[in-house]
Amino acid sequence: MNPDAVIRAEQLRKNYGDVAAVDGISFEVPPGESFGLLGPNGAGKSTTMKMIGGVSQRTSGKLSIMGLDPDVNGPEVRAHLGVVPQQDNLDEELKVRENLIVYGRYFGLPLSYLRPKADELLEFAQLTDKAKSRVDALSGGMKRRLTIARSLINEPKILLLDEPTTGLDPQARHILWDRLFRLKEQGVTLILTTHYMDEAEQLCDRLIVVDKGRIMAEGSPASLIREHSTREVLELRFGSERNATIGAELQGVGERLETLPDRVLIYAEDGETALEQVSARGLHPLTSLVRRSSLEDVFLRLTGRSLVD
């Protein structure tokens, strides 16, 4: 057990009726770490986040945030947290800057602290020129940045981000990742859920792969790939008719074979060599692609399913 851990979960469980949304998961997060929960929709990621935030009571297990039980000391735990929920819930009746000030007052913080802090956060979120705008006039990416700025108003030690970039265009995502990376550099502990591999690889020091409320694997993105996948992947498309039947003819190429409805994946240390072996067998795919293994492959290996349906 790490005595410094800011979050410690032991056999954490949450049932909704008979359904176990979170089915006995355990993990620890040391201060300053960027920790990810990776999994498909319905895996129990958001439920875990809500339990950490003290807005959902666990069914059983132990949970401690900065040494406090969120079910008992909800408001006190939340004073340490910044929360970026999956759906923006900005206050649309207030202007952009007012959103920050009012949110800070919910924490009982004085205006003398909040006024300069709000300006500083607007600067950080690149929204200074929007300070007096209405919230509904902001773009999706701006709203997201405002939500993140809002979550920082109480100088949280832990920032919870639930699917922070879902629904954003690539440019907005990169701006957001840059902002989150800066927070990480400042030592803020980041807890984020995502079903985007690239996001997890960009932001997470360590992550757990969650499926059906259970932890399937734990480690850094690189170590997970090393452990559960090969260095490279050869993706072949033979057309939707043949993908399913061609498996037998590909046996023995690479270390492992995965047949998906739209393509066949061959896991190998060297993708080009594997492709030559395929050609040598007289098989000619419509398209072929050699790429590095990603967390997507780890997830596929562990659960037999893709992350994004």
Partner 1 sequence: MSAVAAGPGGPHSVTEAARQRKFGALYSRNVQAVVARGLMAAKSSTWLILVSGFFEPVLYLVAMGVGLGTIVGDVEGPGGQLTSYAAYIAPALLAVSAMNGAVYDSTWNVFFKMNFAKLYQGMLYTSLGPLDVAMGEIFLALLRGLLYATGFTAVMGVMGLLTTFWAVLMIPASLLIAFGFASLGMGITSFMKTFQQMDWINFFMLPMFLFSATFYPLSVYPEGIQWLIQAMPLWHGVELLRQISVGAFSPATAVHIGYYLVMIVLGVALTTGRLRKLFLK
Residues that bind partner 1 (CB under 8 A): 6, 31-32, 53-57, 71-76, 78-83, 85, 87, 89-95, 98, 102-103, 105-110, 113, 120-121, 123-124, 152, 154-157, 159, 182-183, 186-189
Output the smallest distance, CB 27 to partner 1, in A.
18
Instruction: Please identify, using beta-carbon distances, which residue of 68 and 172 lies nearer to partner 1.
Output: 68
Q: Which residues share a beta bridge with 237?
A: 287
Which residue stretches of 165-270 are H helix?
170-185, 197-203, 221-228, 240-243, 247-250
Instruction: Please identify, using beta-carbon distances, which residue of 50 and 195 lies nearer to partner 1.
Output: 50
264-268 and 232-237: which strand pairing? Answer: antiparallel
Output the smallest distance, CB 235 to partner 1, in A.
41
Q: Could you tell me the two tokens for 193?
A: 């859920």
Instruction: Please identify, using beta-carbon distances, which residue of 30 and 219 lies nearer to partner 1.
Output: 30
Output the smallest distance, CB 31 to partner 1, in A.
4
Q: How many CB atoms lie within 10 A of CB 132?
A: 9
Alpha carbon distance 210, 200 (integer Å): 13
Instruction: Please identify, using beta-carbon distances, which residue of 80 and 242 lies nearer to partner 1.
Output: 80
Which is nearest to 146 in space by CA: 91, 68, 228?
A: 91
Q: Sign of dihedral through CA atoms 237, 243, 248, 252?
A: positive
Stated as kind and residue range, the H or E segment containing 64 is strand 60-65
Please provide residue 287's backbone torsions phi and psi, each rounded to the nearest 5 degrees: -135, 155
Q: How many CB atoms lie within 10 A of CB 75?
A: 11
Alpha carbon distance 299, 296 (integer Å): 5
Instruction: Please identify, using beta-carbon distances, which residue of 162 and 199 lies nearer to partner 1.
Output: 162
Output the smallest distance, CB 90 to partner 1, in A.
8
Output the smallest distance, CB 55 to partner 1, in A.
5
Instruction: Please identify, using beta-carbon distances, which residue of 75 and 247 lies nearer to partner 1.
Output: 75
Alpha carbon distance 282, 293 (integer Å): 26
Output the smallest distance, CB 187 to partner 1, in A.
3
Instruction: Please identify, using beta-carbon distances, which residue of 115 and 237 lies nearer to partner 1.
Output: 115
Alpha carbon distance 198, 211 (integer Å): 18
Output the smallest distance, CB 217 to partner 1, in A.
27
Q: Could you tell me the two tokens for 23?
A: 């089915």
